[in-house]
Structure 1
Amino acid sequence: MPRPQFHVYIALSADGYIARADGAIDWLAPFDSEEYGYDDFTAELGAIVMGRATFDQLLGFGEWPYQTLKTYVMTSSPPGDLPEGVEAVSGSPAALAEKLSGTAPQNIWVVGGGALIQSFLKEGLIDRMDLFIMPLMLGSGIRLFGADGPAQELSLKDSKTYENGAVMLRYET
């Protein structure tokens, strides 16, 4: 059975951070006026995978933003009340890919955080990465790619420069 395709779509600072040390993403606010192809990207999706910290952060924003997409929260400590369409799962990314093979929609967004994305990369499961490099440096925070990540060759499939100085790099693995 074919396995789903796992995609990353994420903004990061020019020095490689996806959030401040406390998880805050307020530094992205000055770049909100651009759409970055988000609507086209999400239109291709059938499901989302995220880590527990990302799930908790999204819950703090109010109404669940992904009501139309099946969401899997990878965690060893399942949350209590889950919004409709959200399922807590444990185990490795490979176990999730096997579980979803043949039954899940083909395109699944690995939202984050950095450790979750890194675990999918280590198991060779990320098929495409859309990286949006924002023209600022945070100096510290939560990195997208940790120091113990796998060596991996990438193939640049597309790039785009935005008027605000952001750059999108689309890689396939």
Structure 2
Amino acid sequence: MKIVSRLSTSADGYVSTPDGWPSQLADPAFASGSSHGIVEFLEGKEAALMGATTFAPALGAPRWPWPGLDVFVLGSGRPEGTPDEVVIDHDPTALLERVRATNRGGDVHLVGGPKTIATFHTLGALDELQLVILPILLGAGLRLTDHLDPATQLTFTHSRPLTGGSVEIIYEV
């Protein structure tokens, strides 16, 4: 089992827009239907591990964003409307143990913002970081690096161009 995070970032390094939305939502190519490789990325994933801030909007979405995946949420409460099979725990170590205990051999998508990714990275639970560099400049927002230890070592694996001028870069952590 590998735990893999995939984030989109503007060319100037912001993973969210100034108003808090994921950066890919500001990319015209994404708005016109480009998946930026997420469909291929999700193949072989068996679970999604995320923070409560990422999870909450899914409860009001017209369709469940993680069909067929086990969902684990780092959070202090169970929001109304949460499906019964979603596991929620306030302790990242305990939640990670539950992810590992139920794993059937597939990889885990670590979904979320910089704070969630840093939390699981600190626990040694980030094996791969995938970045989609978008051809946009946001000028402000949330940066991935504000929460990650600058001593984090990344090993380049590969890159590829994506539709609309984005570039996917994959690193082992």
Q: CA RMSD in A?
A: 2.1
Superposition TM-score, scaled by structure 1 size = 0.85
Measured against aligned partners, the alpha-carbon deviations of 1:123-172 in whole angstroms (never above 9, x if no partner) come to 22110111101011211112222155251111111101235221110001
Are the structure 2 counterparts of residues 162 and 23 from structure 1 closer, same or farther at C-alpha, using a change threshold of 3 Å?
same
Task: Tell me what 1:24 maps to.
Answer: 21
CA contact (8 A) 1:67 1:85 kept: no
Equivalent-residue separation in structure 2 for 1:69 and 1:150 (angstroms): 32
Equivalent-residue separation in structure 2 for 1:64 and 1:100 (angstroms): 20
Are the structure 2 counterparts of residues 133 and 152 from structure 1 closer, same or farther at C-alpha, using a change threshold of 3 Å?
same
Equivalent-residue separation in structure 2 for 1:87 and 1:29 (angstroms): 35
Superposition TM-score, scaled by structure 2 size = 0.85
User: Is there any run of 5+ residues in structure 1 with no aligned partner, and where?
Assistant: none
Equivalent-residue separation in structure 2 for 1:148 and 1:35 (angstroms): 26
More helix per residue? 2
Equivalent-residue separation in structure 2 for 1:166 and 1:95 (angstroms): 36
Are the structure 2 counterparts of residues 149 and 60 from structure 1 closer, same or farther at C-alpha, using a change threshold of 3 Å?
farther
Q: Could you tell me how far 1:50 is from its partner in structure 2?
A: 1.2
Query: Which deviates more, 108-117 or 10-19?
Result: 10-19
Are the structure 2 counterparts of residues 99 and 86 from structure 1 closer, same or farther at C-alpha, using a change threshold of 3 Å?
closer
Percent identical: 31
Equivalent-residue separation in structure 1 for 2:57 and 2:120 (angstroms): 21
Equivalent-residue separation in structure 2 for 1:48 and 1:91 (angstroms): 16
Equivalent-residue separation in structure 2 for 1:97 and 1:44 (angstroms): 19
Measured against aligned partners, the alpha-carbon deviations of 1:61-93 in whole angstroms (never above 9, x if no partner) come to 32212131111111123312212532212212x
* Structure 1 counterpart SS, 2:120: helix
Equivalent-residue separation in structure 1 for 2:168 and 2:48 (angstroms): 21
Task: Tell me what 2:66 maps to.
Answer: 66
Task: Tell me what 1:104 maps to.
Answer: 103
Amino acid at match of 2:15: I
User: Is there any run of 5+ residues in structure 2 with no aligned partner, and where?
Assistant: none
Equivalent-residue separation in structure 1 for 2:47 and 2:83 (angstroms): 14
**What count of residue pairs does the alignment treat as equivalent?**
169
Task: Tell me what 1:164 maps to.
Answer: 164
Is 1:39 the equivalent of 2:56?
Answer: no
Equivalent-residue separation in structure 1 for 2:19 and 2:83 (angstroms): 24
More strand per residue? 1
Are the structure 2 counterparts of residues 65 and 137 from structure 1 closer, same or farther at C-alpha, using a change threshold of 3 Å?
same
* Structure 1 counterpart SS, 2:127: strand
Query: Which deviates more, 122-131 or 28-37?
Result: 28-37
Amino acid at match of 2:42: T
Are the structure 2 counterparts of residues 147 and 8 from structure 1 closer, same or farther at C-alpha, using a change threshold of 3 Å?
closer
Q: Could you tell me how far 1:97 is from its partner in structure 2?
A: 2.6
